[in-house]
Structure 1
């Protein structure tokens, strides 16, 4: 759990750190859209080297990214395996009972696996190089025009900020509770699947109790400080859109154009 890096911020002075959080958020949305045009070897290679270049520009160790990916690898492998086993289109590679593996299923699973990895890398890069408060300000700023149709931009930004802020805290609480349970003789790795699921219950109950207690304390603290929402509030942190932010968005648009024309039909 302590290796889960999604939601953590690492201070730095790299090019990626200095970008406006709004440009990084827009770039992330563009990346999620255009990555679905990467459906062959050439386009996937382009996206892979593009993502690797972005990671290098952040000056954050690639080994740190790979270490942070480990807690999610099980979910990714399960999703790709599900794709292989339940895709019947294409030429059959082998069959075991009712299980039929095809070349198309393997190809689609490989694409899904690559997309998962790249999206996790880019979203993790976003949170590692952007302070949660700045990210919340970016969401609020981008949603500001929607306030005319009664979209609560400030409240959405606040919820995002609190969510990102408490992801590492919840992971730390989970690790602490698991260590306490292990000290009492609980083995989370023994038994069959049902027994393993049952062993999670002693973690969930104190984790929920701790989360509700922390949420209640946070609400009391905000109320004691006179928090009244976004209406009429001024900003201590001012976002500044610069030329490098425009260049970043243009680069992502160009990436999308390349992928669109190079993708397989």
Structure 2
């Protein structure tokens, strides 16, 4: 699983401050969400695609695999709106299906928004390390350390849970435990796997809580950080690229002369 999310090379996007990247990507999502101009959203989709497929640092094979949910979401959302949307200028209808000029453009708009959401989210996910994100939120956005370190501890515990699940599965195979078929077998698997994992998770959570309390994470005193995060010239480059993308999308609106 870790190899799947390992890039071939770390591009300049990796060196952007994670807190700044998070804020800007969130603003870009809001811009796409409230935008109803199809040409503008279409050009944003192309530009975000260049950002993802050109500068994420991953191979085309992995990017193609990651893009499957986005493509499926695009076709499902667009076709649903096209086939069942409302419109005045009807091109073709049959039973519940009614394809109109308005439904086609609304479907394309919804599909492009879906692609934009997927590309922005995937770019942020693939080019940002979770640990550095929480360190940046603590240092640049003044996030309370007790909340940030709680999330960091949860992320660190996930590989342990996966390892325990594999160990439990191997132990049941060695003991030649067989499960029934159907719903009864599903219940048996749930009982044999989830109960021990749930108990171990409670023990770990209690140990982490005691450790954080011993290290005075409930206090609001200033703290030092093992990974300091600062603003660099890469942040200026990132801001410039985002600004150019927005202005370019607005400038090339005339290529698709239709406004919803």
TM-score between both structures, scaled by the size of structure 2: 0.68
User: Cα deviation per residue 1:94-152 (whole Å; 9 max; x = unaligned)?
Assistant: 222133222222222222222222322222222222211111223334542xxxxxxx6
State the match for 1:112 in structure 2. Answer: 110
- 1:19 aligns to 2:7 (yes or no): no
Contact 1:90 1:102 (C-alpha < 8 Å) held by counterparts: yes
State the match for 1:221 in structure 2. Answer: 207
SS at match of 2:91: strand
State the match for 2:29 in structure 1. Answer: 32
Unaligned runs of 5+ in 1: 145-151, 188-194
State the match for 1:154 in structure 2. Answer: 145
SS at match of 2:224: coil
Alpha carbons of 1:173 and 1:30: their partners in 2 closer, same or farther (altered >3 Å)?
Answer: farther
State the match for 1:192 in structure 2. Answer: none
| Matches of 2:247 and 2:102, distance apart in 1 | 26
Contact 2:75 2:111 (C-alpha < 8 Å) held by counterparts: yes
Contact 2:19 2:140 (C-alpha < 8 Å) held by counterparts: yes
Indicate the RMSD between aligned Cα atoms, in angstroms: 4.3
Contact 1:9 1:131 (C-alpha < 8 Å) held by counterparts: no
How far 1:241 moved relative to its partner? 0.7
How far 1:77 moved relative to its partner? 4.1
| Matches of 1:241 and 1:157, distance apart in 2 | 20
User: Cα deviation per residue 1:152-211 (whole Å; 9 max; x = unaligned)?
Assistant: 64355346546766788889999999xx9xx96869xxxxxxx9xx99988877786577
Alpha carbons of 1:43 and 1:118: their partners in 2 closer, same or farther (altered >3 Å)?
Answer: closer
After the TM superposition, which residues 37-186 of structure 1 pair with which residues of structure 2 at under 5 Å, given as runs? Answer: 37=35, 39-41=37-39, 44-45=42-43, 47-71=45-69, 74-144=72-142, 153-158=144-149, 161=152
Once the two structures are overlaid, the 10-residue window that deviates more, 13-22 or 70-79, is 70-79
How far 1:17 moved relative to its partner? 1.7
TM-score between both structures, scaled by the size of structure 1: 0.67
Contact 1:9 1:127 (C-alpha < 8 Å) held by counterparts: no
Task: Find the structure with the greater CA-based Rg.
Answer: 2
